[in-house]
Structure 1
Amino acid sequence: MNSVVVLIFSILWFILAYRWYGKKLEKRLIQPNDQQPTPAVEFNDGMDYYPSKPVMLFGHHFSSVAGAGPILGPIAAFAAFGWGGTLLWILFGTVFIGGVHDYLSLMLSVRFKGDSLPEIAQEAIGRRARNLFSVFVLLTIILVVGVFGFVAAKTLASTPSVVIPTFGIIPIAMLFGFMIYKLDFSTILGTVIALAGLFCLIWLGYEFPISLPFPSQANFGIWFVLLMGYGLIASVLPVWMLLQPRDYISNWILVIGMALGFMGIFVTHPTVNAPALTSLNSASGPIWPTICIVVACGAISGFHSIIASGTTSKQLAKESDGRLIGYGTMLTEGLLAVIALLAVSAGLFWDAPVGMEKFGFLTVLNSGGPIKAFGLGYGRLVEPFIGTFGMLFGITMLKTFVMTTLDTCIRLGRMISAELVGPKVPLLKNKFAGSIFIAIPAFFVGYTGTYNIIWPIFGAANQLIGALSLLVITAYLVGVKKPTKYTLYPAIFMVVTTIASLLYQGYNFLVKPNPDYILGGTAIVLIVLAVVVADEARKIVTDGKGESLEVELQS
C-alpha cells in the first residue's frame, strides 16, 4: 500500500466528515444560538471564564487533548495488530464516536453554565452518578498529572536539547498573550514573531543542551520538582496570560509538524511495508476490545470530555464556534494519528533490509520505545526538508504537548474538587488550595513511581470515562427531546467494549501464578462503576424521564 494513497483518503474522509456528520450534529442536536451569551461571556472573571478567539481556543483545546496519546496509541496498536485494523478504527472511531463525544461534551457544558460533565451528571442522571463520576475523574486527573510530570522530567534529564525550548516558550507565550489581549496586537503578526522566537529556542536547545551535573536520579528529581511547581503556578494564572497563548503557540508546532509530515510523505511516497494484520490476538489481548482501548486519543478518549467541559467550555465566545473547537479538533487529532501510523509503518521497516537494520520498527521499539520509534520514522519522512534535525523536531512535538496537559489538568482538578468537595470543605474553593489539593498526590504518585501500580489499567479507565460521558449526554438529549441515536449507540458500544476489556484484564490479573489483587480489584470496581452509572442512565432513556431537566434548561 502506498502511503500517499492512505494519507489522501484520510484527509478527504475527515473533510467530508466535518462538513457532513459534524454539520448534522450541529443542526439536529445543538442548534447554536449566538444571541445567547456563553459562560465565557456571562461569567467573565478574567481568570477561568474568558472569551477566546476561535483560533486561540482551537490551539488550547487541541494542545490539551492531544498530548502524546494520538501518537503513542496508534504505534502500540500497530505493533500488536498491524496497520489495517488500527487505521480503520482511527477513521471510523474518530468520526462517529470520538468527534461526537468531544463536540457534545463541550456544548453540554456550555448549556449548563460551564459546569464539568461530572457535575452535569447529577442533573441528567442523579446524585449517585455524579459522585461516582466526579471521584473517578479526580483520581484520573491526579494520575495523569503524576505520569505526565514523570515522563516530562525523564525527557528533560535524558534529552538536554529540549530544556531550552521547554521552558523558553513560557515567557514567549506570556508576552504574546499580553500583546494580543491587552495591546490588541495583530494575531497574525504576533503569531509570526512568537513562532520565530520558538524556533530560535529549538535551535538554541540543539546548540546548547543543558545537563544538570548530578546523578541521574537527582537530575530527574530536580526537573520533576520544577515541572510540578510550574504546573501549580500556571494553574492559578488567568487563562489569557499563559494557558491560551502557550497552547496556541504549541498548537502551531504540531500544525507545522503535520504539514512537514504531509510534504514528506508526498515527496518520498514510501510504501507501507508492514502487514495489514499481524494477529487477531496479542500479548495485550484480542484485537477487540484491545485495539479500541490502546489507540485511545487517536479515536476516542474520555479525557477529552474532562478538558471540553473543564476549561474549553469556559472560553467559548459563541456557540457557533463549538463545531470547529469540539468536532474539528478531534478530526485533526485523528489525522495526527494517521501521520504517526505512517511514520512507523512506512518511515520504518517491518523487515529491515541488510544495512538498514537500525531503521527496523521492532528493533527500535524494543530498544528505544515508541517515542524514539516515532521520532526516527518521522525524521526519515521529513529528511528532504530539515535533514537530520527531523528526529529532534518529532520528539520536541511530543514534549511540548506533555507540558500543555500538565498545568491544564491541575486547573481542571481544582475546578472539579471545588464542585465536588467545596460545599463541605470551603477551603477548596480557594484556587491556590484547590490546586495544591491536586498537585500534592500527583507529585507523590509521579515521583515515587506509585502510578506503575495502577497504570496498566488506565487505558480501560480512560475509555470508561468516555462511555459514561456519552451516557450523560444521551440522558440530556432525552430530557430536551432530541434524537439520541447519535450518542446512544456509541455509548452502548463503548460501555460493552470497556467492560469486556476490564473483564479480560481482571481475569488475567487474578488467575496468573502471582495474582495482582490490586489491579484485579480495581478492574472489578471499575466494572461495578460502569454498571451502576449505565443502569441509572438506562432508567432515564427507557422510562422517557427528563421533563424536569427540559423545564430547567428552558427557564
Structure 2
Amino acid sequence: MLYFLLCVGILVLGYFTYGVFVEKIFGIQPDRKTPCWTKEDGVDYINMPTWKVFFIQLLDIAGLGPIFGPILGALYGPQALLWIVIGSIFAGGVHDYFSGMLSVRSGGKSIPEVVGDEMGQFARQTLRVFSVILLLLVGVVFILGPAKLLSSMTGFNVQLLVALIFVYYFVATILPIDKIIGRLYPIFGALLLFMTIGITFGLIYHGYEFLPNMDISTNVHPGDLPLFPLLFITLSCGALSGFHSTQSPLMARCMRNEKNGRVVFYGAMIAEGIIGLVWATAGMSFYDSPEALNAVIAAQSPAGVVNQVSTELLGVFGGFLAVLGVVILPITSGDTAFRSTRLILAETLRLDQTKINKRLVIAIPLFVVAFAISLVDFNIIWRYFGWSNQTLSMLVLWSAAIWLGRKGKLHWIATVPAVFMTAVDTAFILQAKIGFNLPADISNIVAVIVAAISLIAFLILVRPTGDVSEEAEPAE
C-alpha cells in the first residue's frame, strides 16, 4: 500500500512543484483578457467559475481512458504505475497545459489551428482531417460503449439506448455550453469522485493486499507483449493522451483568467492520473495474477473488470453507482467530442456559430456521418486509435516546444516528452501488425534514430525570434 500512496503523493507534489515550474516558464499574464471576455458569444465563449471549468475539463478528458487503459496497463505490473506518475507530471500535464494555454493565447482556437500556427499550413490541414476523424471515432465509440453497459445493467434494448444517447449528444452539441454541460458535469464529477474513493477504501476494507507483485524488473504480461512501446500506447489517458488536446480549447474559451490555467489544465491531468492509479492498483490487487485479470478482460472486456471489482468492493448499490459512473464518463467525453468537431469544422469553414441555424448546418451532417459509422464494423479502423491518439500528443508537444523555442524559453519541458513520444509512435507503427510488422529490435533502433533526427532538426531550425512578450490586455 505504501507504493500506491507514494505514487499518489508524488502526483500531488508534482502539481505544486513541476506544475508551478511549467506555469512560470509559460509566463502567465493575469492582466491579459482571456477569450471568454474578448469573444463572449453566449454559446461557446462563456465566462464560468473556475471550479466548474475544472470539473468540465476533467470529465471532458476522462472518458473510459483512465479506467480501461490502466486496467489493461495493469497486465504489465507495477511499471504501469510508474508510467502514470512520470507521464502525468512530465508529459501529460505539460501537454494539457500547453494545449489549453496556447488556445487561450490564440483567442480560443481549436488544436489544429494552434498546431498550424507553430508548425505550418501542412500541419494545420493534416490536423484538421486527423482531429475530425479521431473525434468522430471517439464520439461513436462513446455512444456504443455506454449503450451496451446500460443495456447489461437495465435490460433495455441497445438500439433504443443508442438512439437516446445520440439525441443527448446532438442537443449538447448545439446548445450553449452552460445549459447542459455546465449544469450536469458537477453532479457527474461528484459521482466520479465517489467511484474513485470508494474503490480505494473498498480494497482496504476487504483486506486486499495492495500490489502484491512489486517486481518492476520483470514484464509479467500474460501475452508477453513488450513493455516498449505498447505500455505507452495502451495506457494513454491517465498519463498522456492526444485526445485531451482536442478538449482543452473548449475550456480555454470559458476560463476567466490565465492564472487559472494550472488548476484547469495541469490539475485535471493530475486528477486523471490519480484515477488511473486507483484502477491500475485495483487490477493488480483484486486479482491473484495477471493471468486471472487477463481472463476476465478476454471474456468480458475491461468493463467486466469494472463490474466485478465495483460490485465486490462496494456491494450491489455501491457497485451500481460505480458502474453508472463508468457509463457517464464516456458520455461526458462523447458529447464534447462532437462539440469539438463542430467547432473545428466551423473554424475550417469560417462559419460563425453564434446563431443556432449556423450550428445546425454543421451538426446535422456531422451526426448523419456518425450514425452511418455506428452501423458498420470499424474495428480495423479503431485499432489505429491508440497510435493516432499518441501521434497527436506528440505533435502537440512538438508545437509547444517550437513555441517555447521561438520565445527563447526553456523548451526542454516539452522537447523531452516530444522526443520520447516520437520514438514510441515510430516503434509502434513499425512493429505492430496493423503497421509494418517489423521485428522489435529493428523497429526500436529505427525509432531511436527518427527521434534523434527530430531533435537535431528542432535544435537547428528553431531559433528565438526576439518576441518574448505579448501585449497584455487588462482583465475585467
1:405 matched to 2:340: no
Report the CA distance between 1:104 and its aligned residue. 1.4
Matches of 1:156 and 1:446 in 2, distance apart? 17
Match of 1:13 among 10, 14, 21: 10
Q: Give the residue type in structure 2 aligned to 1:270.
A: Y
The alpha-carbon distance between structure 1 residues 115 and 550, as it changes in their structure 2 partners (threshold 3 A), is farther
Match of 2:316 among 381, 388, 394: 388
Contact persistence 1:254–1:397 (CA under 8 A): yes
Contact persistence 1:64–1:405 (CA under 8 A): yes
Report the CA distance between 1:367 and its aligned residue. 2.6
Contact persistence 1:109–1:313 (CA under 8 A): yes
What whole-Å deviation, never above 9, does each CA across 1:71-115 have from its counterpart, x for those lacking one? 111111222x2x221111111111110111111111111011101
The alpha-carbon distance between structure 1 residues 364 and 279, as it changes in their structure 2 partners (threshold 3 A), is same
Superposition map of 1:226-375 within 5 A: 226-271=164-209, 272-274=211-213, 276=215, 279=219, 283=223, 285-309=225-249, 311-350=250-289, 360-375=292-307
Give the number of equivalent residue pairs.
461
The alpha-carbon distance between structure 1 residues 509 and 286, as it changes in their structure 2 partners (threshold 3 A), is same
Contact persistence 1:414–1:437 (CA under 8 A): no
1:470 maps to: 397
Match of 1:416 among 344, 354, 361: 344
1:443 maps to: 371
SS in 1 for 2:122: helix
Structure 1: any 5+ residue segments left out of the alignment? 161-210, 213-218, 353-359, 513-526
The alpha-carbon distance between structure 1 residues 249 and 295, as it changes in their structure 2 partners (threshold 3 A), is same
TM-score w.r.t. length of structure 2: 0.89
Contact persistence 1:50–1:314 (CA under 8 A): yes
Matches of 1:131 and 1:142 in 2, distance apart? 17
Report the CA distance between 1:463 and its aligned residue. 0.4
Matches of 2:394 and 2:461 in 1, distance apart? 20
Report the CA distance between 1:283 and its aligned residue. 4.5
1:53 maps to: 49
The alpha-carbon distance between structure 1 residues 420 and 552, as it changes in their structure 2 partners (threshold 3 A), is farther
The alpha-carbon distance between structure 1 residues 443 and 150, as it changes in their structure 2 partners (threshold 3 A), is same
Contact persistence 2:284–2:290 (CA under 8 A): no
SS in 1 for 2:80: helix
Q: Give the residue type in structure 1 aligned to 2:307.
A: G
Q: Give the residue type in structure 2 aligned to 1:290.
A: L
Contact persistence 2:394–2:418 (CA under 8 A): yes
Q: Give the residue type in structure 2 aligned to 1:444.
A: A
CA RMSD of aligned residues (A): 3.0
The alpha-carbon distance between structure 1 residues 313 and 373, as it changes in their structure 2 partners (threshold 3 A), is same
The alpha-carbon distance between structure 1 residues 419 and 284, as it changes in their structure 2 partners (threshold 3 A), is farther
Matches of 2:23 and 2:436 in 1, distance apart? 43
Matches of 1:467 and 1:428 in 2, distance apart? 35
Q: Give the residue type in structure 2 aligned to 1:341.
A: A
Contact persistence 1:471–1:488 (CA under 8 A): yes
Structure 2: any 5+ residue segments left out of the alignment? 440-445
Matches of 1:340 and 1:487 in 2, distance apart? 27
SS in 2 for 1:430: helix
Matches of 1:507 and 1:44 in 2, distance apart? 45
1:131 maps to: 125
TM-score w.r.t. length of structure 1: 0.77
Matches of 1:136 and 1:86 in 2, distance apart? 28
Report the CA distance between 1:274 and its aligned residue. 4.6
The alpha-carbon distance between structure 1 residues 554 and 124, as it changes in their structure 2 partners (threshold 3 A), is farther
Q: Give the residue type in structure 1 aligned to 2:71.
A: I
Q: Give the residue type in structure 2 aligned to 1:470.
A: L
Match of 1:140 among 117, 134, 144: 134
Contact persistence 1:64–1:247 (CA under 8 A): no
Larger radius of gyration: 1
Contact persistence 1:77–1:86 (CA under 8 A): yes
